[in-house]
Chains A and B, each alone.
Chain A
Amino acid sequence: MNYTYDFASIPGLILKILHAFPLTMGILLCALAISLTLGAAVAAGTMGRNRFLQSLCKGYISFMRGIPTLVLIFLLYLGMPQALKQLGIDIGSWNKAVFIIATLSLNASANMAEMMRASYLAVDKGQREAAYSVGMKPFTAFRRIIFPQALGIAIPTLGNNIILLFKETSLGFTIGVIDILGRARAISAASFGANKLEVYIASGIIYWIICIVLEQASRLAERAYTKGRKKAAG
C-alpha cells in the first residue's frame, strides 16, 4: 500500500473549488430568507392564544429538531416526488438545489422560531405596557418598541444559526448539487480519487475561512447595533 499526498496542490484546489462559492451562497441566502419567514410564523404560533396552533407549532419545532438533516433531504428528494407522482404531480425534474433549499429552510426554521421566541420573551414586559400606556396599537408597539430590542438580543444567536445553516449546505452533495463540497468531490472524481484527501482538506479550509468571516461579521453587527441602541436610550 502506498500513500502519497501532494499538499502543495491544496491552494490550487481551493481556487478551483471556489467556483462553486456563488451557488453555495445562493442556497444559503434563499434558505435563510425562507427559514426566517417560516420561523417567524411558527414563533408567532407558539406564542399565540390558539391552543391548537400552539401545540402544532411546538410539535413542528421538536419534530424538526429531532430529524437528521440527511434523512430530511432523502425524505424530500427521494420520498416526496414518489408520493406526489401517485397524485399525478411530477416534480422529479425540478432543480436539485430546490430540494436542498427546502430541506435547509424547514430544518433551520425550527431554530429560527426558537431564537425569535426566546428574544421576544427576553424583552422586559414593562416595555410593551409602557408602549400601550402612551397609546400605541399592538402592532406599532411591536414594530417600534419590542422588535428593535428583541433584534439586539437575537443577533448573536442569529449569527450562530446562520453559521450552522452554512455548514449544512454542504449536504447538498448527497443529492448531487455541485456546491463547494459537490465540486470538491467532482474534482476528486476527475482524477480517479487520487487526490481525495487534498480535496477534502481544501474544502475544509474554505468552510473554515467563511465561518470565521461570518463569526466576525456577526460580532461586528452586534457591536454596531447595541451601540446605536444605547445612544438612543440615553
Chain B
Amino acid sequence: MDFGFIMEAFPQIAAAIPVTLLMVFVSAGIGWVLGLAAALVRKNRTPVLSQILAVFVSFMRSVPSVIVLYIAYYVMPAVIYAYGQNIGWAIDINAVPPIAYAIFALTLSQAAYSSEVFRAAIAAVDEGQTEAAYSVGMTRAQALFRIVFPQAFATAMPNLGGLFVGLIKETSLAYYVGVYEITAVANLLSIPKLNFIEAYIMTTVVYEILSFLFNKCFRAGESRLKRFRANAAG
C-alpha cells in the first residue's frame, strides 16, 4: 500500500464525483420523464408509436450499455453535423464534450428501463380507481395525476431506486467514450506508478458510499409514499 499515493490521488478522484453525479441526475431526470411518457403511450396502445416504442425498449434492454454508449458516440457526431449543415451552421463536432454522448446514451437506456417500471406500476393500480375518478367527474388528466400516479409511484419507487443505483454504476462505462469520471480518473492516476490496488480500492469505496447514500434516500422516499399504497391504507 502506497499511502502517499492515496493522499495525493483521493482528492482528484473525489473531484470527479460531480461528473458522475451530473451524468446520473441528468440521465435519470430526462430519462424517467420520457419513460413515463412511453409507458402512457404503450398503455393507451397508440397505434404505430407504441409498436415503435416496444421495439426500442426491447433493444435498449437487451443490448449491453457499453455498446449503446459506443453507438451513441459514433452516431451522434454525424447526426449533429448533418443537422448543422441543414440549418446552415458549421458546428464544430470536436467542441462537443464526450459527456454529452454519454448522457444521451444513458438517458435513452433509462427511458427504456423506467418505461417498463412505470408500465408495470400503472397496470398495478386497480382499474376501479380510474373508474371511480371518472364517476366523480374528474377529467382524464385529473384522474391520471391525482389518482393513478400517486399510487403508481408508490409501487414504482423500489424499482426506481434500483434503477438509480444501477445507473450510478453504469456511468463507470462512460470511461470508454472518454468521460473523465471517477473510474477514468482513478485509472489514469494509477497507471504511471502502477498503483492499481490503491486506486481501485478508493474507487470502490467512493461507489459504495454513493450507492449507500442513494439507497437510503430512496428508502426514505418509499416510506413517505407508502400512504398511497392500497394495502397500507387498510
Chain A residues in the interface with B (C-beta under 8 A): 1, 3, 5, 62-63, 65-72, 74-75, 78-79, 82-83, 163, 167-168, 170-171, 173-174, 181, 196-197, 200-201, 203-204, 207-208, 210-212
Is there an interface contact between A200 and B74, defined as CB atoms closer than 8 Å? yes
Is there an interface contact between B196 and A74, defined as CB atoms closer than 8 Å? yes
Please give the distance in Å from A2's CB to the nearest CB on chain B.
Answer: 10
Which listed residue, B70, B169, B187, touches A200 by the CB 8 Å rule?
A: B70
Determine chain A's interface SS by DSSP, over half rule.
helix
What per-residue 1/0 map shows which CB atoms of B186-230 lie under 8 Å from chain A? Answer: 010010001011001101100110111000000000000000000
Q: Given contacts A66-B207, A67-B208, are A78 and B67 in contact (CB under 8 A)? A: no
Tell me, in angstroms, the Cα distance from A161 to B209 when the chains sit together. Answer: 24
Q: Any chain A CB within 8 A of the CB of B62?
A: yes
Is there an interface contact between B204 and A71, defined as CB atoms closer than 8 Å? yes
Tell me, in angstroms, the Cα distance from A65 to B187 when the chains sit together. Answer: 21
Q: Any chain A CB within 8 A of the CB of B58?
A: yes
Chain B residues in the interface with A (C-beta under 8 A): 58-59, 61-68, 70-71, 74-75, 77-78, 81-82, 93, 165, 168-170, 172-173, 175-176, 183, 187, 190, 194, 196-197, 200-201, 203-204, 207-208, 210-212
Instruction: Name the A residues within 8 Å of B197 (CB-CB).
Output: 75, 79, 82-83
Tell me, in angstroms, the Cα distance from A3 to B81 when the chains sit together. Answer: 9
Instruction: Name the A residues within 8 Å of B190 (CB-CB).
Output: 78
Tell me, in angstroms, the Cα distance from A79 to B58 when the chains sit together. Answer: 36
Is there an interface contact between B67 and A65, defined as CB atoms closer than 8 Å? no
Which listed residue, A72, A173, A211, touches B62 by the CB 8 Å rule?
A: A211
Is there an interface contact between B58 and A212, defined as CB atoms closer than 8 Å? yes
Is there an interface contact between A63 and B208, defined as CB atoms closer than 8 Å? yes
Tell me, in angstroms, the Cα distance from A207 to B77 when the chains sit together. Answer: 24
Tell me, in angstroms, the Cα distance from A174 to B71 when the chains sit together. Answer: 17
Instruction: Name the A residues within 8 Å of B67 (CB-CB).
Output: 170, 181, 200, 203-204, 207
Instruction: Name the B residues within 8 Å of A66 (CB-CB).
Output: 165, 169, 207-208, 210-212
Instruction: Name the B residues within 8 Å of A69 (CB-CB).
Output: 169
Is there an interface contact between A212 and B62, defined as CB atoms closer than 8 Å? yes
Which listed residue, B59, B176, B196, touches A78 by the CB 8 Å rule?
A: B196
Is there an interface contact between A208 and B183, defined as CB atoms closer than 8 Å? no
6 contacts between A and B (CB under 8 A): A5-B78, A67-B211, A68-B173, A75-B197, A173-B66, A207-B62
Instruction: Name the A residues within 8 Å of B187 (CB-CB).
Output: 74
Q: Given contacts A66-B208, A66-B211, are A71 and B66 in contact (CB under 8 A)? A: no
Q: Given contacts A1-B81, A200-B74, are A75 and B62 in contact (CB under 8 A)? A: no
Identity of the chain B residue whose Cβ is nearest the Cβ of A77 in the assembled complex: B196
Is there an interface contact between B207 and A78, defined as CB atoms closer than 8 Å? no
- B70, B165, B187: residue with the most chain A Cβ atoms closer than 10 Å: B70
Is there an interface contact between A75 and B204, defined as CB atoms closer than 8 Å? yes
Please give the distance in Å from A191's CB to the nearest CB on chain B.
Answer: 14
Instruction: Name the B residues within 8 Å of A68 (CB-CB).
Output: 168-170, 172-173, 183, 207
Is there an interface contact between A197 and B62, defined as CB atoms closer than 8 Å? no
